[in-house]
Amino acid sequence: MVQKFAPYGSDVSAGTYKCADCGYMYSNQSKKSLPPCPDHNKKPHRKNGWYIMSGQGDSVNDPHPNKK
């Protein structure tokens, strides 16, 4: 199953991610947890996650495996 959304803190592979709330683009060059959007405190963010534009998205050991 290909995931299309990863909440903040999800362990992901390298790729490009787009904020689900404001559209901010984020590129991750190595496997690590997704940070909150840099604009999180400037604008209301209700989804608190990223759309997966490229890359594998959530890893098997995702801390939020049931959240989509």
pLDDT in tens, 5-16: 999 999 888 899
**pLDDT attached to residue 58:** 57
Residues paired with residue 49 on neighbouring β-strands, in sequence order: 7
Q: Residues 59, 31, 35, 39: is their CA dihedral positive or negative?
A: negative
Helix (H, G, I), strand (E, B) or coil at 51: strand
Dump pLDDT digits (tens) for 25-54. 999 887 778 999 999 999 899 999 999 998
pLDDT bin (cut points 50, 70, 90) of residue 17 is: very high
Whole-number pLDDT of residue 1: 43
Domain ranges of the chain: 5-54
Following CA atoms 25, 28, 34, 37 in sequence, which dihedral angle do they give, to the nearest 10 degrees?
-30
- pLDDT score at 67: 52
Rounded to two decimals, the pTM is 0.76
| Single-letter amino acid code for the residue at 60 | V
40 vs 54: CA distance, rounded Å: 22
